[in-house]
Amino acid sequence: MTISDCSERELIARIQARLPPPPDWLLVGIGDDAAVVEPERNRAEVLTVDALVEGVHFDRAFVPPDAIGHRALAVNLSDLAAMGAAPRLALLSLALPPGLLIADFDGLVAGIAALAERTRVHVVGGNLTRSTGPLMIDISLTGTVKPRQVLKRSGARPGDTLYVSGTIGAAAVGLMMLRNSTTHPKRSTTGDMKDTEEQSRSGNVLTSVSPVVERCIQRYLRPEPRVRLGLMLARNRAASACMDLSDGLSDAVYQIAAASGVGARIDAGALPIEPCAREVFAARGADPVTEAITGGDDYELLVAVRPRTRGRLAAAIRHGGVPLTRIGVCTEDRAVVLSRDGGDTPLPGGGYSHFRSAEASSLDHARDDPARVEGSRAT
C-alpha cells in the first residue's frame, strides 16, 4: 500500500494518531487555516527551519524511514540547542513521492514523533504535498529562551577556552559504512541484492558489523541533539559563544572565529575523536584528525568559555548529559590554526564551498550540509 491509496485526511489522521494530547498553550490546533498558540511569558522566541532532501541529505536505500524522521527533527533541535533555547513547537511540511509506502510514511512520522515527545516539541500544524521527485521533509521549529541568555556565535574573546561536546568523527564513518554496504551489496551476509535492500530499510545493512562500527552507524542514523546541554549553558551563562557542528568541527571553529572577530588554536592531541572512527580512518590510510574535524553530522556543540566563568561551566556539564572536552583557545590574531607536533598549520576545512558541490546551506548559518549522499566536499 502506498500513500496514493490514502486520502490526505487519512494521512493526517495517521500523523495525529502519533501526537500526544495538545498542550494548554495550543489555542487552535490542526484543522483550521493555521495554528494559534499562546506565547511563553518573558521569553524571546527562537526560530529555525531545515530541510532534508532525498538524494542530497539521505538515501532511502540505507537510511530507514524512522531515522529520516529522527534526523529531520534532530538537525533543527541542534540549532535550537546551539542558541540555548528550550524547544516548543514544530510545523511539518512533507513533499511525498506518490509511490511512498504507507509503512515508510508511518515510519517517518514515528521517527519524528518519538524524538518530539522526548524533547517536548508539539507538532501544531504543517502541510502535505505530492512530490514529482524526491522525498523532502521540511521542519520549522520554534523554542524559547530568556533574552539575556541567548547563546550567539559572536561573543568569543581572545583567551576564551574552546570546548566540544561528546565525540567527533563517528557519524562520518557511519555514513561511509552505510554507503559502502549499498555500493557493494556482496558485503552483506546473503550477497543478495533484494535482501540487502530489505535489510537496509530496517537499518540492518551490515548484519555482520562489529558493535563498534554499529555505534558509528547509529551516530549517523540517529544523532542526539544536545538540547539539555544548550539549556544548561544558557541558564548558567557559562558560554561566551556557541554553535552546533552540523558541518563539522572545523567549520564551526571558523564560523565562531569569524563572527567573534578572533582567531583560534585547536590542539590536535586533545580532540575527542571517537575511537572506532579513528581506527577506521587510520585503516583507510586517511588522517583521523583531518577526517574527524571536517566530517559532519555529529551534531555536537562547540562552546567558547571565558576563563573566569569556568566554575559556571562545571554546573552545566554536570547537568548537560554529555561530557565537554577542552580542545583549544581563542586568540588575538585572526588565524585559525591546528596545533600539532609542536607546529601550527591552518586548520583544514576552511573556506567557502560552492552550491554545486555543497548540497545545503542555511540562511541562519550559511552552511553546507555534510550529510551529502553524492558529490564531494568543496573545501
Q: In the range 66-85, which residues lie near a copy of itself by CB under 8 A?
A: 79-80, 82-83, 85
**Residues 256-285 contacting a copy of itself, CB under 8 A:** 259
Choice between 186 and 352, CB closer to a copy of itself: 352
Inter-residue contact 309 to 320 (CB < 8 Å)? no
Nearer of residues 105 and 220 to a copy of itself, judged by Cβ: 105
Please return the burial class of 351, using the count of CB atoms within 10 Å of its CB with bins 0-12, 13-18 and 19+. Answer: exposed
Q: Which is nearer to a copy of itself, 93 or 204 (CB)?
A: 93
Q: How far apart are CA 103 and CA 222, in angstroms?
A: 19
Beta-sheet pairing, 136-145 with 86-96: antiparallel
377 part of the interface to a copy of itself, by CB under 8 A: no
Contact between 44 and a copy of itself (CB under 8 A)? yes
Rounded Cα distance between 163 and 171, Å, is: 19
Residue 379 binds a copy of itself, judged by CB under 8 A: no
For a copy of itself, which residue of 20, 118, 130, 345 counts as binding (CB under 8 A)? 130
Q: Which of residues 336-355 bind a copy of itself (CB under 8 A)?
A: 352-355
Q: Using CA atoms, how far apart are residues 286 and 162, in angstroms rounded to an integer?
A: 25
**Candidate segments 62-70, 92-100, 320-328, 334-342, binder of a copy of itself by CB under 8 A:** 92-100
Nearer to a copy of itself, 143 or 296 (CB): 143
Which positions from 3 through 42 interact with a copy of itself, judged by CB under 8 A? 3-9, 11-12, 15, 27-28, 30-40
| Phi-psi group of 44: left, alpha or beta (phi > 0 → left; psi -120 to 50 → alpha; rest → beta) | beta
CB 213 within 8 A of CB 276: yes
Q: Of 166-174, 213-221, 341-349, 356-364, which segment contacts a copy of itself by CB under 8 A?
A: 356-364
Cell matching residue 337: 590554526
Taking CB under 8 A as the rule, does residue 48 contact a copy of itself?
A: yes
Q: Which residue(s) pair with 267 in the sheet?
A: 339
